[in-house]
Structures are given as structure tokens and as C-alpha cells.
Amino acid sequence: MYTKKTKENCVDIQQWCSCYLLSRHECCGSHTSENTRLNQWAAILLQHIHAFPTSTLSTVRFSNRLILKNETGSGCFYCAVPRWFVCSHGGGRQRKLKANSLAGFHHVWRWRRCRLVVNVSCLCDSPGIYVKRTHTTVILKTTPTMDDCAQERPLFTFGVIADIQYANIDDGYNYSRSRRRYYRSSLQLLRNAQESWSESAVKPEFILQLGDIIDGFNKGHNASERALDTVLREFSSSPVEVHHVWGNHEFYNFSRSALLGSKLNSTLHTDRILSETRPGPEIYAYHFSPFPGFTFVVLDAYDVSLLGREESSEQYKSAMNVIRQYNNNEDLNCPPACEGLEQRFTMFNGGFSKEQLDWLDSVLSSADDKRERVTIVSHLPVHPCSTDPICLAWNFDELLGIIRSHSSVVCFMAGHDHDGGYVKDKDTGVHHLTLEGVIETLPDSNAFGTVSVYEDRMVLKGSGRTRDRVFLFP
């Protein structure tokens, strides 16, 4: 009745869905008919604002129409304001209106910590009277911008970095020769990250190293220990605790039992681990709580794998049974010749055992009960839209099923796919981030992130090709 939509807006509005109605206070005046009309108008306003990407708003203006514009000015939403409404600053100040004039329409919007608050008051239609009859407040929660977040102090921060794959060898290429790999300069990029973390205003509580810390080529050069020492020395240039995740390149260099006794077993080097439950002696999975109400779970994505298992072992045989159902290639690193998700059945991937999945399920149940926020990390991504399918964990679907059955999970972080990726799971709102790999990052760029954690969100400040993101908690 009071709205006017352009054709262009109709299309855009369908695509935009980043704001949510938090609350709406009903009219408090005595005039029933005005209340009804006000509510009708507010409903129309809401219906349209609801779909408007207020995160991108640069202009919100009331004149005779409410005009919302985004940064480029290309997406506009017009809503005709009935002339017997005035929009006030919400302070209850009474204003004098000229008869039938639109001069009384004032700017009403204000940003309050990521919320667009719109007060709409209904005035009597009679000329020259002071009134504040009824009002309604529409509060919209918007996606916070980096600027919003910069003004607040986080509860804590942490660093993330993935696929450093250091080796003291000349630059090379990935298998398909489509991406250059900078084996030596990955160390300098780690140094850049360390410097940035140590200079940040709020020092990180810990660093998440998402796996593939050194490259498999070290093994052929008999340089695994040396390369690992070199990288760990770089990490120890600051006193911040590092949580190491294991990737395929860890197993190219070391056996599982060697890893369990090494500096890459973070459970041996921190008191933070919540060790009352661990999935099993040979499974490298644990959880820790760096701040009350927040839990981080480190997963072992090569628990079911041909990597790191003795060929004579039961685990190797059962992993072979899994991969052979889909991959008939002689070279099991070569993906099955198919499109889609089955490409993941290669030797450089792996999966999670039932034991580990059951353990994760119980950790998450306990976190649900305590209303904690849980971030899960693994070398392999588990959401098909957060990565190239060739990098997915074998039984990503089982893990995703567990995540989806718990309310506590807010974020899943992985490495492995050097191009990175991100998706917000549409069923749960859980954020799935795949971090760009250092090894395929130009020497004059960077690939790491600093995550600031707040009550209602995590904010990733990316460096170089890692972009900024805001993860609102589901």
C-alpha cells in the first residue's frame, strides 16, 4: 500500500538476506486506527528492510520516502512514508509539523553496535500541533563491519596459518603445474605472521597451525628434522603457544608414532588440554578452552588413512578397503576419474574413525549443555562448498552430520586446499573456513589471519591473500 519497488530492487532484494529482525516494540498510543496503520506500515517497512543488505548501507534517509542505498548506490530501496508519520530520534522530543508538510520527517536511523534502529512515530494529521502519539521501533541486526569491531576490545584473539610446507629447496610447482610453490620463502611469510601477531594490540592467546608445516620433499633430502627445527624455531620466537594440526605432509616426513612423541604433538607441550577425555592413544585429537565459554577441538583427519599406518596394520587394511571402493588407479594419489565429490578418495586425504567421531559427539554434547562456543580445526575441510572436492575428508559427510546435530559449533577451520574457501552452512549457520596455503603465496604477499573473538562473533583480520571476514555466531 505504501511501498514502491522498482523492478531492479525486486531482483536485488531476493538476493540480500543479511539482516534480521531482532525485536519490535508495538505502538503505545491510544489511537487504535493510527496504531493499526502504523503497524501496517512498519510491517511493510520490515518486510522490505528485512531483505535489504544493511551491512552495505551507506545512506539511510527519510524524506517523503525512506531511501536505503548501498555502497555503490546501485541497490536502492524506496518505501513511501505516509505523511502522517514522522520519524523521530527516539528521544521523545516533540516536534511541530507544518500542515500537510513533509518537513517533519527527520533522520531517524542510527547505528548502535551493528544494529539499525529505526523509530517511527505517528503524528496526528492536524496542522500545527505538538504530539507524540505513538511510536514503534524497528531494530535490525546487521552484519557488523570491520570498523564496528575495531572499536571494541575482544575477549581474546588467536592466530591462524596453514600449509607452510617449508623446505630449503628451489621454488617448484604443484602436481598439475598450475600453481607455483615457494618452499624457502614460506619461512619468511611465517616470520611476517609472527611479527604481526607480536605487534598486535591484543596479543594472541595461541596460534593454530593448520597442518603441512614442512613439505614432503624434505624426506627425500634427508632433511625432515632440520626443516622442522627451522620452522619451530621461527614459531618459538614468540612465547605464544602453538596448536599444531597434522596434515598429509607430516606423514610424508614422519611416522605416526614419531609424530606422537614429537614437538608437533601439542598435547605434550601445553597444560591447557582438557585431557579427561581423549579418543584413543593413537588418535591425535584433543580439545582445550582458552577462555571461559569457548572450546577449540583439534581433529585428526588422517586417523583413517594409508598415510602414517604400517602396511601390515589393521588400520591400513581398513583404509585400503575404503579407498578401493572408489579409486581403482594404480597410483592412489591419482583421483578417481569422476566429477564431483568422489574425487576425494585419494591417498593424500583421509578420514575420521568411528572412535574419533563418537568422542567428538560427546565433547560437543557437553559443550551444548554448557552453552559453549566451539571451533573445530582439522587439516582437511569437511564442507563441500568450502573447498575443491578433491581436498575433502573421506567421510566429511559423517563429520558434517555430527556438527549439524549440535548447537555449540560456531566455526570449522581447515587448510589443505591452498586456494582457500569459505561457506556459511545454510542449515546451521556454522562458518566453514579453508585458509589459503602459505606455500602457494607470492613472496611479497602473505597468508595468515588474526581472529578476534567477541561475545557474539569472531572477526578474522586477514593478511595478504587471506581476506577479512566476520563470523556471527549462529
Ligand X SMILES: Nc1ncnc2c1ncn2[C@@H]1O[C@H](COP(=O)(O)OP(=O)(O)O)[C@@H](O)[C@H]1O
Classified as helix, coil or strand, 399 is helix
Nearer to ligand X, 249 or 309 (CB): 249
Q: How far apart are CA 421 and CA 392, in angstroms?
A: 12
CB of 287 to ligand X, least distance (A): 25
All three cell numbers of 177, joined, read: 603445474
CB of 256 to ligand X, least distance (A): 17
CB of 400 to ligand X, least distance (A): 21
Amino acid letter, 273: I
Nearer to ligand X, 16 or 246 (CB): 246
CB of 189 to ligand X, least distance (A): 16
The residue whose grid cell reads 614459531 is 235
Q: 449 and 466 in contact (C-beta within 8 Å)?
A: yes
CB of 217 to ligand X, least distance (A): 9
Q: How many CB atoms lie within 10 A of CB 96?
A: 12
Q: 190 and 234 in contact (C-beta within 8 Å)?
A: yes
Nearer to ligand X, 331 or 339 (CB): 331
Nearer to ligand X, 336 or 474 (CB): 336
CB of 451 to ligand X, least distance (A): 23
Q: How far apart are CA 463 and CA 223, in angstroms?
A: 30
Listing DSSP states for 68-135 in one string gives EEETTS-SEEEEEPPTTEE---SS---EE--TT-STT----EEEETTEEEEEEEE--SSTT-EE--EE
Alpha helices in 330-381 (DSSP H): 354-369
Nearer to ligand X, 30 or 178 (CB): 178
Q: How far apart are CA 423 and CA 407, in angstroms?
A: 18
Nearer to ligand X, 142 or 253 (CB): 253
CB of 348 to ligand X, least distance (A): 4
CB of 343 to ligand X, least distance (A): 9
Please give the radius of gyration of the chain, using alpha carbons only, rounded to the nearest integer: 27
Q: At how many degrees (to 10) do helices 185-199 and 224-235 cross?
A: 20
Q: How far apart are CA 426 and CA 429, in angstroms?
A: 6
CB of 391 to ligand X, least distance (A): 7
Nearer to ligand X, 79 or 306 (CB): 306
Closest CA to 117 of 135, 133, 98, 140: 140
CB of 236 to ligand X, least distance (A): 24
CA-CA-CA-CA torsion sign (173, 174, 175, 178): negative
Residue 420, phi-psi category: left (phi > 0), alpha (psi -120 to 50), beta (remainder): left
Nearer to ligand X, 110 or 184 (CB): 184
Nearer to ligand X, 105 or 348 (CB): 348
Classified as helix, coil or strand, 243 is strand
Nearer to ligand X, 45 or 307 (CB): 307
The residue whose grid cell reads 557488523 is 144
Q: Looking at the chain, how many residues does it have?
A: 474
Q: Which residues bind ligand X (CB under 6 A)?
A: 174-175, 212, 248-249, 331, 333-335, 348, 416
